[in-house]
Amino acid sequence: MKSPFLSAVTENMRMKFYAEKTIKAYVYWIKSYIYFNNKKHPFDCHDKEVESFLSYLANIKKVAPKTQALALNALVYLYRDFLDKPLTLTLKFKKTNTQPKLPIVLTPEEVSVLLAEIPVSISLPCYLLYGSGLRLMEAVKLRIQDIDFDYLSINIWHAKGGKHRRVTLAPELKGVLQDQIAKVHLYYQEDIQRADYKGVYLPYALAGKYPNAAKEFKWHYLFPSSLLSIEPGTKNLRRHHIHETNIQKTIKKTAQKLNFSKQVTPHTLRHSFATHLLQRGADIRTVQEQLGHTDIRTTQIYTHVLHAGANCVRSPLSDLMIDRK
């Protein structure tokens, strides 16, 4: 039986239009925090218990920096937005010192082979991951109206950090995207005839601002699920987007089939997009804008990938090998 407290937390986040993935992650860390404190009610805990929990994640669990940060964000939400008992800004806890992973990058030849081998049914979102440098969730959440054929670009709304941006669209994808939109329209024509169909899900209170938008075609997902489903937390029948795990599993399986020695994920295609742009002479600021990075230092990791290798640093072993000729 689910905890009434966690159920209330979940409902509160849904009312604030948190993404389902964020809700699931926050509830997981709030639950872990409660168990860490021997099921003591969070209202009876505060800074000291939060500091101990975060230090435990770093010292004992040895979680990655991003994981510890996610746990902290969940607890900040819990105390600030749900319990109305905000945490102190100067929490003193052991920060995890696990080094972030260097990005894994495919060569253009490897990307070409990988994309050619991916099943047609799932290939288009994969082409966008590489061709436009999209994050996985940005790709699956695309709406029909986000594609700008006139200016060969894609509008990304409410991405990581709530930011919007416009990214490039390869002209070679124009035809297949138009075919995909025609396919989505067939789904739409069937769905809109159903009396119980509530239209597509609209986030960030858009449903209130645009009451008719949920049933307008342009708002529907570019990559819809093949089945209708009930929206979580409601009784609304909708057609959601495809599940991101379909793409994750397909890319992993395809890379294994091709015997790639590198560990390939959807994000590998985004890493490759950035690295290949820089290799072709793109300005780092341009790459930063395309990726949607707030801090250019995040983008500079791709220059490190290039500069650390044979592209810019000549190994002294090369001189020895030349002498042996």
| 135-184 per-position pLDDT tens digit | 999 999 999 999 999 999 999 998 887 789 999 999 999 999 999 999 99
104 burial (CB, 10 Å; 0-12 / 13-18 / 19+) is middle
pLDDT above 90: residue 323: no
User: Whole-angstrom Cα distance, residue 38 to residue 32?
Assistant: 10
For residues 76 and 201, state if they share a domain: no
User: Whole-angstrom Cα distance, residue 68 to residue 71?
Assistant: 5
Confidence grade of residue 211 (pLDDT, cut at 50, 70, 90) = confident
- Please pick, among 18, 26, 221, 302, the residue that the annotation labels catalytic: 302
User: Whole-angstrom Cα distance, residue 202 to residue 132?
Assistant: 24
267 noted as active-site residue: yes
For residues 154 and 67, state if they share a domain: no
pLDDT score, position 318:
67
- In 3D space, the residue among 125, 168, 169, 133 whose CA is nearest the CA of residue 293 turns out to be 133
To 10 degrees, the CA torsion angle through 98, 101, 102, 108?
180
174 occurs within a structural domain: yes
302 noted as active-site residue: yes
Query: Cβ of 283: how many Cβ atoms within 10 Å?
Result: 10
For residues 172 and 285, state if they share a domain: yes
270 noted as active-site residue: yes
- Tell me, what CATH number does 71's domain have? 1.10.150.130
pLDDT above 70: residue 324: no
For residues 264 and 128, state if they share a domain: yes
| 269-320 per-position pLDDT tens digit | 999 999 999 998 899 999 999 999 988 888 888 887 776 654 556 667 667 7
88 occurs within a structural domain: no
271 noted as active-site residue: no
Asked whether 5 and 21 are in contact (CB, 8 A), the reply is: no
- How far lies 63's CA from each of 57, 67, 267, in Å? 6, 6, 20
Whether the model pTM is above 0.85: no
Local structure of residue 241 (DSSP, 8 states): B
- Please pick, among 127, 130, 135, 188, the residue that the annotation labels catalytic: 135
180 occurs within a structural domain: yes
Mean pLDDT of 91-98: 69
- Please pick, among 240, 241, 270, 271, the residue that the annotation labels catalytic: 270
pLDDT score, position 316:
72
- Please pick, among 160, 183, 304, 307, the residue that the annotation labels catalytic: 160
For residues 27 and 156, state if they share a domain: no
Answer positive or negative: Cα dihedral of 211, 216, 221, 222: negative
* Residue 282 Cα to chain centre, angstroms: 24
Range of the domain at 198: 101-315
User: Whole-angstrom Cα distance, residue 94 to residue 88?
Assistant: 16
For residues 113 and 246, state if they share a domain: yes
293 noted as active-site residue: yes
135 noted as active-site residue: yes
What do you get for the CA distance between the two ends of the chain, in Å?
74
For residues 161 and 13, state if they share a domain: no
Asked whether 115 and 127 are in contact (CB, 8 A), the reply is: yes
Asked whether 54 and 68 are in contact (CB, 8 A), the reply is: yes
| 249-265 per-position pLDDT tens digit | 999 999 999 999 999 99
